Amino acid sequence: MVYTANSEGVYVRTVSYSGKFAVKAIKPVSTIGAGDNFNAGMMAAIYLNQISADQLDKMGEKEWSKVVSLGVDFATNVCLSYENYISMEFAGELKTR
């Protein structure tokens, strides 16, 4: 289970790992779309890091940090604009990760 707690951070609970990750301190313009984009960022990280479904419950802090970090980056990007999706510039940066 992964759940966000606004400025308090992101919590991850699996059979083998329990942890909390910090989020960036920002002044959001809009939070519409933040949750959807957080999920999309996590999915992108899972894809980009070639993490299979059977690996998820075995991952530790290092692997979860990559997944949560990209989710936070997606959500942060969306919160800093009035759009409900990541910017083209941000999307272009994904190719270099």
Per-10-residue mean pLDDT of the chain, 97 residues long, equals: 95 97 96 96 96 96 98 97 95 83
Which tokens belong to 40?
């999309």
Calpha distance 51→91 (Å, rounded): 20
Calpha distance 92→9 (Å, rounded): 26
Q: Which tens digit of pLDDT belongs to each residue from 79-91?
A: 999 999 999 999 9
Predicted pLDDT of residue 32: 94
pTM across the whole model: 0.93
Predicted pLDDT of residue 95: 75
Q: How many residues does the chain have?
A: 97
Predicted pLDDT of residue 96: 72
